[in-house]
Each structure stands twice: as structure tokens, then as C-alpha cells.
Amino acid sequence: MSDRRNRPLSPSTKLAQALRYLDRETGAIVPPIQPSATYARDEDYAVRRSYMYRRDGNPTTEQAEAIIADLEGAVDCMLFSSGMSACMSVIDTLKPGDHVVVPEVMYHGVLQQFQRYAKLHRLEVSYYRPGDLDALRDACRKGKTRLVWVESPNNPDWDVTDIAAAAELAHAAGAKLLTDCTGTPPCATRALELGADFSFHSATKYLNGHSDVTAGALSVRNMDAWWEEIEGHRKLQGTVLQSFDAFLLIRGMRTLTLRYERATLNALRIATHFEGHPQVRKVLYPGLESHPDHDIAKRQTHGMYGGMMSIIVKGDEQAAIDVARFCQLFYPATSLGGVESLIEHRKTVSGEGFKVHPALLRLSIGIEDADDLIADLEQALDRALG
Ligand SMILES: *Cc1c(COP(=O)(O)O)cnc(C)c1O
């Protein structure tokens, strides 16, 4: 018989209980929000905890960080005021002239920063096609490459990169691997366990899940000088996640597993329904068996593919925009990973100079009734293309 007392708790239990939060003094089971901008020293003129000032952090944010670090199997996690500010803390702490290897198609904000820094000669940047490990290997320069960036699944085509294989290639070149698995949060993919050195998530998306916070979560496998530098950068930039947002994030994360499972089930139904549909050229969803990266996606997410997909409609750019306009249930809005479904014409949002099919619509599938969502897309497709 198994020993129940020593049985490790599953991530969904720990999430539901916010890592079994308990205020010893009051018995409260929900963390309080600490809004103070400054902290008084004690009678010996010493700092009481690690906080002197609002930019240092706060106990609410630390609780959220502890939850994510535990979920990721990380030694430490830092929360930032947005996903982009977390990414920028990593990028800005690279040394001038460092070589980095990044996907040629990825979240457009991060890509723009790499392109900008390459133009300013602050970084040397090489690109690889997402999911293409040979191209990734060729792009690495032994002893020179400092960081390999993997986004998986990849915006907005949802290609999947084998993280364990990418980690081996990065490490063979003497580089660190950072993964952006915003589309598959740690209840599905734990990148550090697969060999990544940094695991990043835009917590704005699935981790919070309610479209009312922007936040970035950066977790690390081993502490080192670079991590300390990132910590210092966050403090000086003032980009630590603030306490009210951390409170909302903790509340959101309690239902992460439920929300993510439901989004996956809905997305599987929708992708299957529209694959081969007369008005749809292509459905891009790693959960479909026809997807070229299906096997690695299945392994890497344990079958929890999530709610992100794209459809390429039969018709031109305007027809795709019309489908997004004509939806009555899907909100025509950017972002992803919330409980409500969103539709977005990606080319309009990512702008010129970004490789994206002009008739591609990115769908973030929420937790509504799948039949309602299917009916909404059907009527929009009919009106735009029928
Ligand atoms: C949204 C997003 C980001 C940026 O995060 P913000 O919280 O919007 O700043 C980075 N990577 C991916 C994959 C994203 O979806």
C-alpha cells in the first residue's frame, strides 16, 4: 500500500490551494494585498524582510512566484509587470555583441526587439525556422552563442519545437536555452524538466486566464550571476509585478488546470470540425493528427494541446478580416488564453515585415460551449465567403 502521507501532491491540487496558503496569524487562506510603496526599518535600523521600496517586490507577488516556481520545478521565479518586460530583462542583460539564435517566426514583440538590437549592433542575431532542429543546429556558433530562444508552440502557425533536443543543441554550443511556452503553460509542458535553462510565460495569457492582468513569469533551473543581473534589472526598471495584479494572478491560477483542460477539449472539437471545411483552406492545430508536429506536441504536452489555433480561410485578406468582423461570440481582440474566445486577423496586428499568411485568423479558444463557438464561426464564414 502506498504511504498516503508521503504522496507528492499533484500540480492541480497545489494550484487549487495556491500552494496551501495559510496566514498563521489570522487563519486566512487567501494571500493579502500589500500595497505599500515604502517599508519602515526596525528599531535597529535594519530592513525587516527583503523590502525597502515598492520596486523590490512584495509578499503577494512572492506567493505568486512560489506557486509558479513549484509548478515549473524551478529554483526561482520572478514575476514582471508584463511578458515583454520579462523578455526585455533577459535581452537587456546580454552583453554587447553576444550571439543569439531565435525563431524567424515568433511572438512579434520579442522578434521586433531582437531585430532592433541587431540593427543597433547590440546583438548578433541568427534565425531558424521554428521546429527545424537542423536549422537551429546550423545557426549555433560554438563558444559564441549565448542564448537560444525557442517559442513552442509558435505564434501564429503553431509549429512545435522539440525542447529536449533544442536544449542539447544549445548546451553543445555552450549556450543557454530559453523557452516561451506561453501557449502550453506548465500544467501541460514543464520546459525546465526537458532541459531548458529559463522558462518564460506571458502570465497575461493562460496562467491568469481572465484578461484582466498583464504579467510575465520567468523561471530558472539554476541560480547564477546572469539570474542575479536580471533581478537587478527588474528592480532598476521598476518592472516587478505589483501586488493587486499578483493577487488576481493567484486567483486566476487556482483554476488553471480546469480552464486549460476545457480549452483543449473545445479546441480539439473546433479544429476537427473545420478541418476539410469547404470555406477553410487549412487548420493549424498541433492537436490534430494531421499536424506535422503532432507526435512531438503530444509528448511535450501530455495531450494537453491547449486552445490556440489558426485557420486560413479560402479567400483573400479582406475575406479573412470579414470573418473576424462578422463573429458575434468570438471577440475581435488580440491576446490569448482567457476564458472567453478571441479571433484575430494576425497580419493586421503584427504589421508589415512579419511572415504570416494574409488569410490567417488566430483563434484563442475559451471555455464556452463548443457548439456555440462552432455555430458562430459557421455563420461568420458563411456571411464572408458564402
Ligand atoms: C503575449 C505574449 C508575449 C508578451 O507578453 P505580454 O504579457 O503581452 O507582454 C510573449 N510571448 C508570447 C508567446 C505571447 O503570447
At 176-187, the pLDDT tens digits run 999 999 999 999
pLDDT average, residue stretch 276-305: 98
Ligand 1 centroid to residue 29 C-alpha, Å = 30
Tell me which architecture the domain covering 256-385 has in CATH. Alpha-Beta Complex (3.90)
* Beta carbon of 182 within 6 Å of any ligand 1 atom: yes
Does 1 have pLDDT greater than 90?
no
Ligand 1 centroid to residue 82 C-alpha, Å = 8
Which residues are the active-site residues? Answer: 55, 107, 180, 205
pLDDT average, residue stretch 356-370: 97
- CATH code for the domain defined by 9-253: 3.40.640.10
Shortest-distance Cα residue to atom 12 of ligand 1 = 107
Measured CA to CA, the distance from residue 93 to residue 90 in angstroms comes to 5
Q: What percent of the chain has pLDDT above 70?
A: 99
Q: What percent of the chain has pLDDT above 90?
A: 95
What integer pLDDT is reported at residue 2 of this predicted model?
54
The total number of residues written for the chain in this structure: 386
* Beta carbon of 86 within 6 Å of any ligand 1 atom: no
- Residue range 59-95, pLDDT digits in tens: 999 999 999 999 999 999 999 999 999 999 999 999 9
Per-residue DSSP letter, 345:
E
Nearest residue to 158 (alpha-carbon basis) of 337, 312, 22, 291: 291
Residue 349: its H or E element: helix 346-350
Per the DSSP assignment, residues forming a β-bridge with 246 are: none
Question: C-alpha grid cell for residue 252?
Answer: 486566476
* Beta carbon of 179 within 6 Å of any ligand 1 atom: no
The domain locations on the chain are: 9-253, 256-385
Ligand 1 centroid to residue 6 C-alpha, Å = 38
Q: What is the DSSP pairing of strand 99-103 with strand 124-128? A: parallel
pTM: 0.96
The ligand 1 atom at the shortest distance from the C-alpha of residue 215 is: 7
- Residue range 19-41, pLDDT digits in tens: 999 999 999 999 999 999 999 99
